[in-house]
Amino acid sequence: MKVTVVGAGNVGATCADVLATREIANEIVLVDIKEGFAEGKALDIWQKAPIIGYDSRTVGVTNDYSRTADSDVVVITSGLPRKPGMSRDDLISTNAGIVKTVTEQVVKYSPNAIIIVVSNPLDVMTYQAHLTSGLPREKVFGMAGILDTARYRAFLAEALNVSPKDIQAVLMGGHGDTMVPLPRYTTVGGIPVTELIGKEELDAIVQRTAVGGGELVKLMGTSAWYAPGAAAAQMVEAIVRDQRRVFPVCIELQGEYGINGVYLGAPVILGKNGIEKVIELQLNDEEKALLETSRGHVKEVMDALDNMSKATA
């Protein structure tokens, strides 16, 4: 098995490190545009192999996609973080251009690869990669839900003073402020979370999850990388090992939940073919309303990308 990670920044390098440490692929190729950057990160990860005890080979290349040929899975983390004075449209335009160029190279050398998008704004970058690749939605999707649920579960574990291993949860919708929490589907060792924590405290945890990325930016001055990188690696593992894990991922909905053509987080079964099945939950009226709000927000950003594309056509 061969996995490529595009972007050797904090998230991409963390993803590659987790993939190697867990021996998820025989070969992991790290790609970046900055001369020597990916080579250095990959070499550092490889030199850790004798210490930790793994044999996955990591190699780095500078903008040479021929070295990624015949990858089974490609993780795209490329893109710029939003900087002071940069509008949302500026970020969309810049990162869409990067994701488009990267996706073209990925498909050229690995036409059968499954593509996982991590670049932000996540939902619309998944849209861009899907458009550019021409691949079916089952093979091009985004990582957001695993990260969001991990934050949610971590906060719950802290509040309840229990192991995060015992907490299962589902979140839907867009990545960010309009994500849709589903406390009805949250359990602790099989016990509904609503039996263990009060509504007010649970609502506060849900709100903290929604702005989880922003909390880290305020603390560190930059975006998170350990959890996002590990989340992307977990998706790769489910595919490579055909685990058929149930994860929330960003996918183009095609009628599910009454939504068409919008990229939103939804629970799926993830296996060797990518998305094996989209799971439709029976949402109540309140949850449906929240999902519709999230849909509207993501569609607005997708429309912004479409308008930019028309303007430059």
- In this structure, what CATH number is given to the domain that contains residue 124? 3.40.50.720
pLDDT attached to residue 87: 63
**Which pTM value belongs to this model?**
0.96
Quick one: tokens of 236? 């790769």
Number of domains in the chain: 2
- Segments forming the whole domain that contains residue 229: 145-305
Is residue 198 classed exposed, middle or buried when 0-12, 13-18 and 19+ CB atoms within 10 A define those classes? exposed
Q: Are residues 275 and 188 in the same domain?
A: yes
d(CA 15, CA 276) in angstroms, rounded, equals: 23
In a domain, 211, yes or no: yes
Residue 96 marked in a binding site: no
Q: Are residues 83 and 225 in the same domain?
A: no
Contact 275, 269 (CB under 8 A): yes
Residue 7 marked in a binding site: yes
Q: Active-site positions? A: 175
Residue 161 marked in a binding site: no
pLDDT along the chain (313 residues), means of 10: 97 98 98 98 98 98 98 96 66 92 98 97 95 97 96 98 97 90 95 96 94 89 93 98 98 97 97 98 96 95 88 69
